[in-house]
Structure 1
């Protein structure tokens, strides 16, 4: 799974594709149907690539990519992100066993489900990640 160019921006809903960089910051394109391009300044905005995001685990952190892989392996179906909190938590116990239920909130689960539903149709989801630089 090659999701290196996909980022989450603090304070903005949805996901963005990193298009490039200029003097003002990074150029991002939204992955929703609007395809709006914007520039974010890293001095004032925090963003994280999906490959770097982890969630709290009881023993160790769980990579977001591992959760996406587990969802994909379970036929790729997810509950509606607006479903009951108990249903969302039950689903998340299946795809992220060992997550810390006191520190992973229902809002986090909803965000992960929404992100998965955004990217599941993109070819990036099927590509292999490039080897890490040495």
Structure 2
């Protein structure tokens, strides 16, 4: 599941995918209806990929929470987001047992359930969507590492071998030879 292109826009119901960027904003597509719309740069936009849920010891990325929900509900629709607060809290405890009850509000849980169900109806929630994301991250890291090693090897082969600079040859100047010869004549 690619959450990095799925956004929530403040004041607009539903979820959207980013289609393209413009000078004055973005073109987005509603994941439910497929209708495209233009939004301005001043709109408050949240990337689902940047959202995390508080637990008592850490923040869990939304992707992992969605995966937990999908596995619990067998990749089918979850409970209704209009369920009672007690039902929503019980749901949240079942998919993320150590969620921080003081910092995760009922409205947050409703939004999570609503988003999950929208993604499920739009066909984003399926077993291979979660497996591929995890495996592709590992594969991408391995590919980057292999390319780095290949580039270093290619650069090493392509680099010309540095030749050792020749030692400067010392030539005796003719005046030095003359001085040596003249001193030898005087002594002899």
By the TM > 0.5 criterion, same fold? Answer: yes
Task: Note the C-alpha offset of 1:109.
Answer: 0.6
Q: Confirm or deny: 8 A CA contact 2:82 2:110 kept in the other structure.
A: yes
Which protein is richer in helix relative to its size? 2
1:82-110 per-position Cα deviation (integer Å, ceiling 9, x unaligned): 11100110010011121111111111111
Segment drifting more, 50-59 vs 107-116: 50-59
Which protein is richer in strand relative to its size? 1
Q: CA RMSD in A?
A: 2.1
Gaps of 5+ in 1: none
Aligned residue pairs: how many? 132
**Which aligned pairs between 1:13-32 and structure 2 lie closer than 5 A?**
13-32=13-32
Relative CO higher for 1 or 2, CA cutoff 8 Å, sep ≥ 6?
1
TM-aligned CA distance change 1:23 to 1:66, over 3 Å? same
Q: Does 1:95 align with 2:87?
A: no
Q: Confirm or deny: 8 A CA contact 1:71 1:77 kept in the other structure.
A: no
Q: Name which one, 1 or 2, has greater alpha-carbon Rg.
A: 2
- For 1:71 and 1:33, the matched residues in 2 are separated by 24
Q: Confirm or deny: 8 A CA contact 2:7 2:48 kept in the other structure.
A: yes
Q: Counterpart of 2:4 in 1: which secondary structure?
A: coil
Q: Confirm or deny: 8 A CA contact 2:27 2:36 kept in the other structure.
A: no
Gaps of 5+ in 2: 145-188
TM-score (norm 1): 0.85
**Which aligned pairs between 1:1-134 and structure 2 lie closer than 5 A?**
1-33=1-33, 35-41=35-41, 44-74=42-72, 75=74, 76-125=76-125, 126-127=128-129, 128-129=132-133, 131=137
